[in-house]
Amino acid sequence: MSHYNFADVEAKWQDIWAEDKSFEVEVDRNKPKYYVLEMFPYPSGRIHMGHVRNYTLGDVIARYKNAKGFNVLHPMGWDAFGLPAENAAIDNNVHPAKWTRENVKAMRSQLSKLGLSLDWSREIATCEPNYYKHEQKMFLDFLKADLAYRKESWVNWDPVENTVLANEQVIDGKGWRSGAPVEKRRLSQWFLKITDYADELLQGIETLERWPDKVRIMQRNWINRSEGARVFFEIVGRDDRLEVFTTRPDTLFGASFCAVSANHPLAEELSKDNADLQDFIAECNRLGTSEEAIEKAEKLGYDTGLKVKHPFIEGHELPVYVANFVLMEYGTGAVFACPGHDQRDLDFARKYDLPVIPVVLPKDADADSFVIEDEAYTGEGSIFNSDFLNGLGVDEAKSAAIAKLKELGAGEGTITYRLRDWGVSRQRYWGCPIPIIHCENCGDVPVPDDQLPVELPEDVSFDKPGNPLDHHPTWKHVDCPKCGKAAQRETDTFDTFFESSWYFARFCDANNADAAFDRDKADYWLPVDQYIGGIEHAVLHLLYSRFFTRALKKCGYLSAEEPFAGLFTQGMICHETYQDENGKWLFPADVVKDGDKATHTDTGAPVMVGRSIKMSKSKKNVVDPEDIVQTYGADTARLFMLSDSPPDRDLEWTEAGVEGAWRYVNRLWRMITEPNGPVAPAGAEKPELSKDEDAILRLVHKTIDGISQDLEKFHFNRAVARIREFTNALGDVKGDSDGSAWIRRIGFETLVQILAPMVPHLAEELWHQLDHETKLTDQPWPEADKSLIVDDMVTIGVQVNGKLRATIELPRDIDKQEAEKVALAEENVIRALDGKEPRKVIVVPNRIVNVVA
Ligand code: ANZ
Ligand code: ZN
């Protein structure tokens, strides 16, 4: 029995595809376009299984759409700026550029062994000046368009990485990568005005029908539009008022105190001659600025001694606290608190012994006995204890309260977003320099176009903490482009999310030296038809890219509004975990399994088997794609990836699973290269077929139809199952009649064609073995003959008021509405109804349609 020689075959076809430039594309207005993109990798040095899954999914789509006649753009590049390169520089004394470029080289070679249908002529690396040059120009255009600005602000400071973090990068009050508790600092930072687009970004979500619901929900929550009110509280003894933002003006009668942020102007003013308050403010500032950090921390406050007047209750005064749970960047940086109906306020009130007055009565509760214990009541109900609002529902009471505030000049209705402007300054070396020069005379001066790019200096040292650009002896010292006086470059670089916010557009015209991309080309290719990546990017990267697309549109770069028309988020790859007797993690490669028993490969010592979790280096439950490709070939790895579970679910990697895929690959190889009977020549005339052969022919067309639908819907595992069934049926074709020879030819060719998106090398080679001179890659997708798939028709009766009036032929399992439509269109049924409207139509699938009139 011959084994399939994957190594030779895969290398052979990879070379041929590259030589023929099979996947290089240009704008072609005579063809429909299709843009497939997987989230581009960070060049860490080696690809992992997550990459393999991601790119295999994209490749199936790209190859399928290509066969379907689309002009398919499927590019690849490197998200090449970022911290690991700097850490490598610090740890191993290698320059970040060198480290990154070497990693790119290694990973490109690994990727090329997977047989992906990529247009490598468009490869980009975001750390190269020919990429970031355009990004600097873009930033200056944003500045002109009033979409970027600089301001002093409180930032999240990561004391380990020595840099600012976006709120999104603070998780549980800790830096997302360092894990160090985040501090607050005041710095001058560049911001992009993403908040200008808050409403558009929110409304745009509605048009993203081919996005997973969970991602749409996450984006909606992130932007978080809230309708509410500003309420003005007069400050007792001052000619001033405190403005608060609330989403619950209906609860105003339950107000028991007001609170301002530690960074509120009022707090700052009062702290000037109050050391205790200064200490308290400093303590608050040690907490990050993220909402999560604040949510988790104990609620603390400082009584300022100031009082404000309640807008509705004559003579009623409320104390004003500085509180650690109030954010300066949200609303007005001040709140009124209603402990009965807000948990934070309740926690605070219990701690400082402030009144708790319930004003919303749950549906079945009794007004006299209803009390708030440890839990605030945040549900619906009717308002009580609230004068003119009594008896109203929550929504009605909101409107009534706002109307009254307006009448009194004590407030107004407003809309607020949780989304905040995107701070893009980072105090790091390995990023795109911000093209600004600070001049004492002229302020912030943009670097003139003809001086772009502002390139990173190569000669930097990482032996001091902080930003190497700042330490560099000469780099930052330049003359002001405006007045010529000595000035200083901005030494911050962009957040690396800047690069990934427009790379999909660069791919449309990746080698353009003069501009980011040609507008016509971007307009032809964009939006990306199918984007594929991990759920971890559901908020940041996707939201920033959506904002960038709009900002680029505003600046005349392109016409698209949304960058990604379709999004698919793949599941993770999991593997069992192994530990030795001392609890040390072991690589799967160091473990031999025999049923439930596991032992160490070298020592034979017993090994504990733990449950299957996401592959991660820290638990060592990783399998190196390169080993798998070496042992079984890329096609087997791809096939296993696709066959074992739906692509949006987690996939459990097992040796047995891979071996199953490997056996199937070999079976395909033998079935076609050593057929069990004659195979008719390509293009042979169809002979008379036996009943069995005719059934196979029908199966051919049903399979084509089914696979096409599976692929359109990302049901790749179903597609593989269907192909396996089809393979079994073809294996059963026996004899040497003309009919059997012909059906083998048709069957094998179809099998190879529908396998091509998944196992492209094997399919290409088998196509060749089936005596074709042209490449399978250039072959159109097979067409299903509809007349041959309707064997699954059923004949069902149509009754009108209990009497059989007609029989109709319908595809099996057709949906009820379709069946109803066909039944009601039957002439005999129309006649039997005699102009009456049917009152009820009952469809029993595949059996009968009952019309009651
Ligand atoms: C009074 C009140 C009563 C509130 C009540 C809630 C329940 P969302 O829905 O997330 O937008 N708030 C306003 N500004 C704040 C700030 N800068 N920092 C911290 N909290 C702030 O949240 C809006 C609610 O969060 C507002 O409505 C306000 O508390 C609080 F029974 O006002 B509410
Ligand atoms: Zn100047």
214-262 pLDDT per residue, tens: 999 999 999 999 889 999 999 999 999 999 999 999 999 999 999 999 9
Ranges 449-458, 587-596, 655-664: which has the least confidence:
587-596
Separation CA 476–CA 461 (nearest Å): 15
Q: Is the model's pLDDT at 1 over the cut of 60?
A: no
Residue nearest to atom 29 of ligand 1 (CA): 246
Asked whether the beta carbons of 158 and 166 are under 8 A apart, the reply is no
> How high is the pLDDT of residue 288?
64
Q: Is the model's pLDDT at 82 over the cut of 70?
A: yes
- For a ligand 1 pocket test, name from 231, 289, 324, 342 the mutation site with the most ligand atoms within 8 angstroms of its C-beta: 342
Separation CA 614–CA 113 (nearest Å): 24
DSSP string, 559-597: --S-SBSBEEEE--EEEEEEE-TT--EE-GGGEEEETTE
Ranges 95-104, 199-208, 780-789: which has the least confidence:
780-789
What distance in angstroms lies between residue 334's CA and the mean position of ligand 1's atoms?
9
Ligand 1 atom showing the smallest separation from residue 376 Cα: 31
- Using CA atoms in the order 659, 660, 666, 669, what is the torsion angle rounded to 10 degrees? -140
Ligand closest to CA 440: 2
pLDDT tens string 692-750: 999 999 999 999 999 999 999 999 999 999 999 999 999 999 999 999 999 999 999 99
Ligand closest to CA 484: 2
> How high is the pLDDT of residue 293?
67
Please name which of 572, 569, 547 lies closest in space to residue 560, comparing C-alpha atoms.
547
Ranges 424-438, 561-575, 719-733, 836-850: which has the least confidence:
836-850
What distance in angstroms lies between residue 307's CA and the mean position of ligand 2's atoms?
48
> How high is the pLDDT of residue 710?
97
Ligand 1 atom showing the smallest separation from residue 334 Cα: 17
> How high is the pLDDT of residue 2?
62
Residue nearest to atom 12 of ligand 1 (CA): 335
Residue nearest to atom 31 of ligand 1 (CA): 341
Work out the pLDDT band at 136, boundaries 50, 70, 90: very high
- For a ligand 1 pocket test, name from 335, 356, 405 the mutation site with the most ligand atoms within 8 angstroms of its C-beta: 335
Upper half-sphere CA count for residue 836 (Cβ side, 13 Å): 12
Q: Is the model's pLDDT at 105 over the cut of 70?
A: yes
Cβ within 8 Å of residue 433, ≥6 positions away? 132, 136, 453, 454, 455, 456, 469, 489, 490, 493
Residues with CB under 6 A from ligand 1: 226, 245-248, 251, 325-327, 330-331, 333, 335-336, 338, 341-342
> How high is the pLDDT of residue 104?
98
Q: Is the model's pLDDT at 791 over the cut of 80?
A: no
Please list the alpha-helical segments (H only) found in 732-835: 738-755, 760-769, 816-825, 827-833
Work out the pLDDT band at 678, boundaries 50, 70, 90: very high
pTM of the model: 0.84
Task: Kindly provide the b/e burial profile for residues 461-498, where b requires at least 16 CB atoms within 10 angstroms of the residue's own CB.
Answer: ebeeeebbbebbeebbebebbeeeeebbbbbbbbbbbb
Q: Is the model's pLDDT at 208 over the cut of 70?
A: yes
Ligand 1 atom showing the smallest separation from residue 340 Cα: 31
> How high is the pLDDT of residue 814?
86
Q: Is 307 helix (H, G, I), strand (E, B) or coil?
A: strand
What distance in angstroms lies between residue 483's CA and the mean position of ligand 2's atoms?
4
What distance in angstroms lies between residue 186's CA and the mean position of ligand 1's atoms?
25
Cβ within 8 Å of residue 207, ≥6 positions away? 562
Ranges 273-287, 431-445, 662-676: which has the least confidence:
273-287
Tell me the average pLDDT across 8-22.
98
Task: Kindly provide the b/e burial profile for residues 598-610, where b requires at least 16 CB atoms within 10 angstroms of the residue's own CB.
Answer: bebeeeeeebeee
Report which DSSP code applies to 829.
H
Separation CA 726–CA 720 (nearest Å): 10
Q: Is the model's pLDDT at 663 over the cut of 80?
A: yes
Separation CA 331–CA 246 (nearest Å): 8
Please name which of 612, 592, 672, 538 lies closest in space to residue 39, comparing C-alpha atoms.
538
Handedness of CA 316, 322, 325, 327 (dihedral sign): positive
What distance in angstroms lies between residue 543's CA and the mean position of ligand 1's atoms?
24
Cβ within 8 Å of residue 82, ≥6 positions away? 42, 430, 431, 496
- For a ligand 1 pocket test, name from 220, 223, 318, 330 the mutation site with the most ligand atoms within 8 angstroms of its C-beta: 330
Peptide bond just before 453 cis, omega within 30 deg:
yes
Ligand closest to CA 479: 2
Residue nearest to atom 19 of ligand 1 (CA): 326
In the structure encoding, which two tokens stand for residue 272, read together? Answer: 């000037």
Q: Is 183 helix (H, G, I), strand (E, B) or coil?
A: strand
Cβ within 8 Å of residue 429, ≥6 positions away? 86, 96, 456, 460, 462, 467, 468, 469, 493
